Amino acid sequence: MGKLKFHLSRVSGQPVEGSDLTDDLRRVANELKTNTLPQRKYSKLGKYDVSTIIRRFGTWNKALRNADLQASNRINISDEDLFENILRLWEHYGRQPRRRELSEAPSTISQYPYNRRFGSWTTALQEFVKYASSSKGETIEFSSIAEVSNKRKTSRDPSLKLRWKVLKHDNFKCRVCGSSPAITPGVVLHVDHITPWSKGGETIFENLQTLCSTCNLGKSNETEG
């Protein structure tokens, strides 16, 4: 006689452990390949009722944070953060990002803050390009990169506007091998110092280039000849 197999089912009305809820939030997020999870998406694939999760953690966003996910529908997000997220996606895909991609990594902001601030995704993109292409408030020095002084004139990390100008100038392609995430998924682009920062190179347009992660790793700390 074969061994009997017993399966324990949760008794109706029995309190659900918080760890069970967060585990299921992570499971659904992994299935959807996203780092944030709107309630309506969880409702379609989740094991538990949304109201159960909210009662357990207080708010939906607190539940997401407990599951190590990005809070959904963040409020009071600055224009700089909204535009930074757009540029992050543009770098990741090597092209203009699509609205549906806001719900997928590496995006950390959903579409709703953009809709609230700009009215539509299209308008948000237009405002981003207008902001990133403007020189207002930008302090970029175009001095010769050969003239390196001991006193730094720029910070190490390029600003959003400067990164955008470099990436756009290089057509979102690696300047060495020509690879682009728009053609080859998985390619990661970096904005690199031609004369390394550690060797006195400044963070100016003339001294920056687009490299893929592979070429940037191969270049290491060397100065191009």
Q: Residues 6 or more apart from 212 whose CB is under 8 A from it?
A: 174, 176, 177, 179, 187, 188, 189, 190
- pLDDT the model gives residue 4: 58
- C-alpha–C-alpha distance, residues 183 and 221, integer Å: 28
pTM above 0.75, yes or no: no
d(Cα 196, Cα 216) in Å, to the nearest integer? 11
| The dihedral sign for the CA sequence 149, 153, 157, 158 | negative
| Half-sphere CA count of 129, side-chain side, radius 13 A | 10
Instruction: Please list the rounded mean pLDDT of every run of 10 residues in the chain (225 residues).
Output: 54 69 93 85 89 85 87 77 94 93 81 91 96 69 40 84 96 96 93 92 95 86 55
What residues does each domain of the chain span? 18-66, 79-133, 138-225
pLDDT at 145: 37
Rounded to an integer, what distance in angstroms lies between the CA atom of residue 195 and that of residue 1? 76
Q: Would you state the pLDDT for residue 138? A: 52
Listed as own residue / partner, the contacts of 110-115 with beta carbons closer than 8 Å and 24 or more positions apart are: 110/36, 110/38, 110/72, 110/73, 112/73, 113/73, 113/74, 113/75, 113/77, 113/82, 114/82
* Check whether domain 138-225 has CATH 1.10.150, yes or no: no
Model pLDDT, residue 27 = 95
What pLDDT score was predicted for residue 72?
A: 66
Decide if 202 contacts 152 (C-beta within 8 A). yes
pLDDT of residue 151: 66
